[in-house]
Structure 1
Amino acid sequence: MRSWGLQVPATCILCNAADETRQHLFFDCPYSTEVWTFFCSRLNLHPPALFEDGLRWLRNPSPDEFVKLVAKLVFQAALYSIWKERNVRIHNQAFRPAQAVILEMKQTIQARLDPLSRASNSRRTDTTLLGTWFNFF
């Protein structure tokens, strides 16, 4: 963003320990790592460390169709939530621990899975999307 001429801090506002790059902010920052570790460890997923590789991996992160959808929702919610936390810190000087972001993400994903679970036309009869979520979280 600095290369576009925007006046933003050069240092990551989440950890104050490294330059803010896309890779650092969303994946390498200890704050972001805590968020990713929480979700990936419970889903038993091991995404690659680099952003571009993660996008390719996200096409098929699991053989289980429900875990695949949950992983995609986690990825989307994590990027949004980490970016939102960054902006709140810059503009409002309000700071939340990673656990607060994790809780908010869990609530957001669960709320999204509820209607998807009800509308699912999956052939699976062993569980629902929301049931899969509750198995992990």
Structure 2
Amino acid sequence: MGRLSTKDRLPQWGTIDLAIFPLCDHIDESHNHLFFECSYSKRVWSKLLKWQNISKNVRRWQEEKSWATSNASSRSVQADIYKMCLAGAVYHIWLERDARVFSQGQKEDKGLVRQIIQEIFVCGSMTKKFATKLAQMNCYP
């Protein structure tokens, strides 16, 4: 719903003057840029799409949501894995952004992708249908 406290909204509140995005250091931070337009986020999402064997280019936030609504709305295991990847990517990219803003830490995109995939394996292994599909996908991009 566009309510995240991204740096493009903070100057409106008089909190900060500069809105540089901490994941790529050269473009203003906005909600749209945060998850899929930034080079860091784009690499993370591209690797997760490749891991799922989905051949498509990374798009803007609204376009990704529309694609997910039309292509991953079924109750299939593949659709559920896609939704888990999308949620995991959004969550972990936001955590990485916060880590860089508040503690100057940094995690490589490859490490972030591995963490998301490992969490999907942990959650997905709880049911037999997920475990079977995930066993077929048992490799990292």
TM range (shorter): 0.7 to 0.9
* Residue equivalent to 2:98: 87
Pair 48,32 (structure 1): closer, same or farther in 2 beyond 3 Å: closer
The answer as to 2:111 corresponding to 1:110 is no
Residues in 2 aligned to 1:7 and 1:67: alpha-carbon distance in whole angstroms: 42
What is the match of residue 49 of structure 2?
40
Alignment of 1:64-83 (within 5 A): 65-83=76-94
CA contact (8 A) 1:89 1:95 kept: yes
Alignment TM-score, normalising by the size of structure 1: 0.81
The residue aligned with 1:61 is 71
Partner of 1:15: 24
Aligned equivalents of 1:56, 1:110: Cα separation in 2: 26
Gaps of 5+ in 2: 1-8
Question: Which residues of structure 1 form unaligned runs of 5+?
Answer: 119-127
Change (3 A) 1:89 1:64: same
Does 84-93 or 9-18 show the bigger shift? 9-18
Say if 1:27 and 1:35 are closer, same or farther in 2 by CA, change over 3 A.
same
For each residue in 1:41-87, what CA deviation from the matched residue of structure 2 results, as whole angstroms up to 9, or x when unmatched?
A: 12222266121222122124357811100000000000000000000
Q: Which runs of 4+ in 1 moved over 4 A?
A: none
Over 3 Å counting, the alpha-carbon distance change for 1:60 and 1:132 in structure 2 is farther
Q: How many residues align?
A: 127
In structure 1, C-alpha distance between the alignment counterparts of 2:125 and 2:107, rounded to whole Å: 27
RMSD of equivalent CA atoms: 2.2
TM-score (ref. length: structure 2): 0.79
The 8 Å contact of residues 21 and 27 in structure 2, kept in 1 or not, is answered as yes
Matched, 1:131 2:132: yes
